[in-house]
Structure 1
Amino acid sequence: MPDVRVFNACPAWPRIFLLAILLQASTTLAADWMPAGEPERQDINADVAYSKRTAMRPSDGKQVTAHLAFFTSRAFRLEVIDLGAGPEAAYPTLESAFRSEGCVAGVNGGFFHPDWQPSGLVISKGRRINRFETARLLSGVIYSDERGIHLVRRGRFQDHPNISALLQTGPYLVENARSVRGLSTSDPRRRTFVATDWRGHWVIGATMSTLTLAELGVILASPDALMPWRIDRAINLDGGSSTGFFFDRGADRAPVTLQPWKRVRNLLGICPR
């Protein structure tokens, strides 16, 4: 058994050196991702706003840039736009789809099979498409009803007839303000996501850079890296070649658009209440 008295008799500098190393390590982990350059000012009280932000990982200099549409649940609701299962989509572009449905912004939606059938439950304008599934990937549900917008784990979802828009998707990226463990560290690609501080502030985003799900989870959980407020929970949507984004900046400015590289089955938009 070690003699504690001998340890206490040792000079203090080794312990100080050890504490310095631990402090440096914890600081490095805390700053795993940070804003690249001066982040744009974001009015967190605005009901809807667009921002293009970049996060950087100091350890290797990797940068990730994303289009972001911030909105509040008091002023906006979700809309799932179904593009149909035929060879031709109901709308030729994201912009035409969102404008036709009265949405000010939106992204591509959930996963789908090669025959265009959606993966998991989808509700569009109250119409139910496909069924609820238990596949591991589809771990969460994002939906809108008369009470507001909700993002919950699959096991906590309570179905009811007043849901107007819903996507079953996944995986969960952030939960209780922490990156979810076990996210994939391979297959970097462009990503689409939904996140909230669970206080009425929401964001839909699409990255212009490729990254893994694990990296996206850590970025979203890193304070100020991409968001002006702390994310409580976030979930992944279909990404890769499906990644798309639209934001209407008004009549005097061109809209922000990121068109998917392939046809998708559905879209997730935000529309005024």
Structure 2
Amino acid sequence: MLLLCGCDITTTTTPTQPPVPIATLFPTAAQPAPVPANATPAPDTGWLAGRPGVEMRRIDVQQDGKSAPLVIVRVDPAAVHLRVAYAPDEPRSLRSWFSQSNPILAINGGFFTEEYRTTALLVSDGAPIGESYAGFGGMLAVAPDGSVSIRPLRDETYDPAEPLGQALQSFPMLIFPGNIPAEIEDNGERSRRSALALDQSGRLLIIAAPSAGWTLRGLAAWLSQSDMAIDRALNLDGGSSTGMYLKDGALEETIDSFGPLPTVLLVEGK
């Protein structure tokens, strides 16, 4: 078996079969920051504006009577530049990626081996690396003109002849095109999660769940039923890999990964 670091999923060495959930390698429970006794967090901040085309929202969702917070950043692809960064020989925490790259936002990418090599295809600055998943999973694709898509690979296989500026593959799809929740067979484990989604207006939603409050199936169902008009969504490598750093004027978020990451998605200003 090929070990996938950072999340509760493994897959075979030939990436053509759906993954089988297993336990995570690292702790999945985030350490919450101290909260003053008189503080009452808002259950939903609504969309907070940064620069044009960048918004952030924090939502405290109740799952089985327990808090399961989500941090969601919504970006207009026409207003930013998306970049997949890959450094398997120099993996580092998301905090280090963010401080060294100085983007607007950074989030963890897809799955990787113990040797910090990607288990799927990615495209970084036009250069393809790795082998595409086949028949499962999905791909965030950024065309040379900056247009963005999220594609289920069971329906749209990767074409090496297609010019791509950036691309990132992961699994499973949480929501298929048309806001159809995926039929996910997970083991019911709650973990830190991260995901990407496109709404019906073509905006990219970058999602992090910093505490161990979500199953994959539960996250898919909640996103599908939310007020965010999501058309499709793709799970990223969650668990110990989950992280999000954001700094854009008054908008700020600091969720670090528990371990080093070889791949990140960066949102940069134009």
Normalising by the smaller structure, the TM-score range is: 0.7 to 0.9
Residue aligning to 1:234: 233
Residue aligning to 2:181: 179
Please identify which structure carries the higher helix content.
Answer: 1
Distance 1:93 1:201, change over 3 A: same
Shift of 1:99: 5.0
Residue aligning to 1:163: 164
SS at match of 2:191: coil
Residue aligning to 1:269: 266
CA offset digits 1:135-173 (Å, max 9, x no partner): 74xx11111113401101113145345311111111010
User: Mean Cα displacement is larger for which, 71-80 or 41-50?
Assistant: 41-50
Shift of 1:118: 0.5
**1:109 counterpart = 2:97:** no
Distance 1:135 1:152, change over 3 A: closer
Residue aligning to 1:127: 127
Residue aligning to 1:151: 150
Alignment of 1:30-45 (within 5 A): 38-42=43-47
Does the 8 A contact of 2:181 with 2:221 survive in 1? yes
Shift of 1:207: 0.3
The size of the alignment, in residue pairs, is 224
Shift of 1:125: 1.2
User: Mean Cα displacement is larger for which, 101-110 or 230-239?
Assistant: 101-110
Residue aligning to 1:256: 253
Residue aligning to 2:54: 48
Structure exhibiting the larger radius of gyration computed from Cα positions: 1
CA offset digits 1:194-238 (Å, max 9, x no partner): 0111322211111022221001101111223xxxx2111101000
Shift of 1:249: 2.9
Work out which of the residue numbers 213, 217, 220 in structure 1 matches 2:223: 220
Distance 1:99 1:269, change over 3 A: same
Stretches of structure 1 that go unaligned for 5 or more consecutive residues are 1-35
Residue aligning to 1:81: 85
Does the 8 A contact of 1:78 with 1:143 survive in 2? no
Residue aligning to 1:140: 138
SS at match of 2:78: coil
Shift of 1:39: 2.2
Residue aligning to 1:64: 68
TM-score normalised per structure 1? 0.74
RMSD: 2.4
Residue aligning to 1:194: 196
Q: Which runs of 4+ in 1 moved over 4 A?
A: 43-46
Does the 8 A contact of 1:192 with 1:205 survive in 2? yes
The sequence identity of aligned pairs, in percent, is 25
2:206 partner letter: I
**1:209 counterpart = 2:211:** yes
Distance across 1 between alignment mates of 2:73 and 2:142: 17
CA offset digits 1:89-122 (Å, max 9, x no partner): 2xx4424423544521121001011111101101
Residue aligning to 1:32: none
1:170 partner letter: F
Distance across 1 between alignment mates of 2:243 and 2:254: 8
Shift of 1:38: 5.0
TM-score normalised per structure 2? 0.74
Does the 8 A contact of 1:126 with 1:163 survive in 2? yes
Distance across 1 between alignment mates of 2:182 and 2:122: 24
Distance across 1 between alignment mates of 2:77 and 2:149: 10
